[in-house]
Amino acid sequence: MWFRCRLALTLALVACNAVAAQVVPNNELQVGAGDHLVRAHCLVCHSAQLIVQSSLTRTQWLDTIRYMQRKHNLWPLGDQETVILDYLEANYGARYQSSGRRKNLPYYR
Amino acid sequence: MKELETLSRRRFLQNGSVFFGASALAMFASAESAGLNEPPLIAGKSGLRILNDRPLNAEALPHLLVDAVTPTRHMFIRNNGVPPVGVDPSGWRLNIGGESIIRPLRLSIKDLRSRYQNVSLQLTLECGGNGRAEFDPSVPGNQWTLGAVGCPLWHGVRVRDVLEDAGLKNDAVYLAFHGADTHLSGDPEKEVISRGVPIEKAMADDALIAWGMNDGDLHPMNGHPLRLVVAGWPASASGKWLTGLSVRNQVHDGAKMGGQSYRVPKNPVAPGSVVDDSSMKIIGAMPVKSLLSVPQTGVRHDRGQQLKVSGHAWVGDAQVVSVDLSTDFGQTWQRASLQVPANVGAWQQFSAALVFPAVGYYEIWSRATDSNGLSQPMVLPGWNPKGYLNNACHRVAVHVV
């Protein structure tokens, strides 16, 4: 009975949450070799969320760095560029979806 | 010299972050101060999923987009830079100029209200990248899913009336906007975004200079105190915190007009292709699309009951003529009832009552068709390098018990 009440309460809270609150994604970079460089060079201007929500090939990450340099005042990264690319590729690399049908829809209750 | 440059850039950066810090404090209650697991709040907004907090980008949860007129609190936010703070609407000025304007104007919001016909129109704005999250291979940028769309009631004046007052030269090609937001790097020389639309679209009925939405002012994150609203084109063409309009004698070349921004391949490309800038074209009117806001995906439904289904359908520079629904993965379709738009440029509401033959797992798919005979595809319509224009049919899951 108590469990049922708690379940109902939890569901009510979840439902309530879905209506009233705002949903935020993870804003923390993965811990790994080079994360401090990403923090130092990238997070000066924008949130980690721009990285965390991405999954790109090494070429796409390099293109993104070049775009940031061309358009958004990112400075030359020197030797650190390779370390940064290694980090981005390892932690936010391309995530190919399965082909065939579109992704399965998630349950919500 | 190089050192000096670096120093001055660092100073920009510091200024930028201090500036943002102040505005961030005003906008958010941080997770720490609000208590455990409390998401940050944006004053005047609710039911948004935040994709990015710097720059701020947030989309509506699709099952909350139930109203025909999108409430301000559920209107998505797509910022490219740092919004202005301490905005004083009475001191705000809009400059009308450019090569193809005969008499440049400098207008206050009061001038706009008093000199031109005031209009209130429901106009649909959708981010060009809405649906980007479905791209495979995935592409850079905010991973919008479904909710970067909305159709509030906007209050303002027609762009046409203001441009005709200023006088257009015969060589007018493009309307460009300028805004008061500042670059994330803090560099005052950099314009954050300066896009626009061809002059023909700027002169259309559904292009406004707006100072209000729904029952109040524009929300600060939706452009307060003044913005452009050009219905049916990528929302990036509807500049926020509007300070200037230039009528150009060429296709506008401002920030995010060229390169890969808001541009798609001229010819279809294989997924994952690298496409040269010269092979890209500017996105025009947005393609036909629909959203099921009722029911919420994953709903549990009693087989004995009819399931009431409703949502919105929209298309740029055309009208939606039908919406069809399928509960068998596209094998059969049934027509929903569809309303006419409140005005040109507004989205349209559809509804239906569905019955299910047996218990089990179903998906409802919605497919809108426009007056040009184009329908929504079932899958991603055409991969492109920056993930624009995904108008694949919307799906919601139903568990019939």
CATH code of B387's domain: 2.60.40.650
Task: Please tell me whether residues B17 and B109 are part of one structural domain.
Answer: no
Give the confidence band of B123 by pLDDT, cuts at 50, 70, 90.
very high
pLDDT reading at A11 higher than 50: no
pLDDT of residue A2: 38
Task: Please tell me whether residues B119 and B243 are part of one structural domain.
Answer: yes
B166 is in which domain, residue-wise?
A: 78-282
- B305: contact with A, CB 8 A cutoff: no
Asked whether residue B115 is assigned to any structural domain, the reply reads yes
Task: Please tell me whether residues B23 and B111 are part of one structural domain.
Answer: no
When divided into structural domains, chain B yields a total of 3
Task: Please tell me whether residues B262 and B366 are part of one structural domain.
Answer: no
Asked whether residue B51 is assigned to any structural domain, the reply reads no
* Mean local confidence (pLDDT), B43-51: 94
pLDDT reading at B13 higher than 90: no
Q: Which residues contact B88 (CB under 8 A, 6 or more apart)?
A: none
* Residue of B82, B143, B391 for testing the chain A interface, max A β-carbons within 10 Å: B143
- A4: contact with B, CB 8 A cutoff: no
Asked whether residue B48 is assigned to any structural domain, the reply reads no
Helices A58-71 and A80-92, axial angle in degrees (round to 10): 130
Residue B267: CB atoms within 10 A of its CB come to 8
Record the tokens describing residue B84, joined without a space: 């202005």
pLDDT of residue A105: 78
Task: Please tell me whether residues B225 and B160 are part of one structural domain.
Answer: yes
Asked whether residue B52 is assigned to any structural domain, the reply reads no
Give the confidence band of B27 by pLDDT, cuts at 50, 70, 90.
very low
Q: Contact at 8 Å (CB) between A27 and A52?
A: yes
pLDDT reading at B398 higher than 50: yes
pLDDT reading at B4 higher than 70: no
Cβ neighbours of B78 in A, within 8 Å = none
Q: Which residues contact B49 (CB under 8 A, 6 or more apart)?
A: A22, A23, A24, A25, B58, B59, B60, B61, B145, B147
Question: Is the ipTM, as predicted for this complex, more than 0.90?
Answer: no
pLDDT of B50-97, one tens digit each? 999 999 999 999 999 999 999 999 999 999 999 999 999 999 999 999
Q: Do B53 and A103 touch (CB under 8 A)?
A: no
Task: Please tell me whether residues B320 and B338 are part of one structural domain.
Answer: yes
Record the tokens describing residue B217, joined without a space: 């002012």
pLDDT reading at B308 higher than 80: yes
Who wins on pLDDT, B102 or A6? B102
Asked whether residue B211 is assigned to any structural domain, the reply reads yes
Asked whether residue B269 is assigned to any structural domain, the reply reads yes
Q: Among the listed ranges B11-15, B332-336, B366-370, which one has the minimum average pLDDT value?
A: B11-15
Q: Alpha carbon B273 to chain centroid distance?
A: 26
Task: Please tell me whether residues B156 and B222 are part of one structural domain.
Answer: yes
pLDDT reading at A75 higher than 80: yes
Asked whether residue B191 is assigned to any structural domain, the reply reads yes
Give the confidence band of A102 by pLDDT, cuts at 50, 70, 90.
confident
Domain closes at, from B282, B306, B338: B282
- B274: contact with A, CB 8 A cutoff: yes
* Mean local confidence (pLDDT), A19-44: 84
Of all residues in chain B, the percent with pLDDT exceeding 90 is 88
Task: Please tell me whether residues B327 and B184 are part of one structural domain.
Answer: no
Task: Please tell me whether residues B275 and B293 are part of one structural domain.
Answer: no
d(CA A70, CA B253) in angstroms, rounded, equals 16
Asked whether residue B54 is assigned to any structural domain, the reply reads no
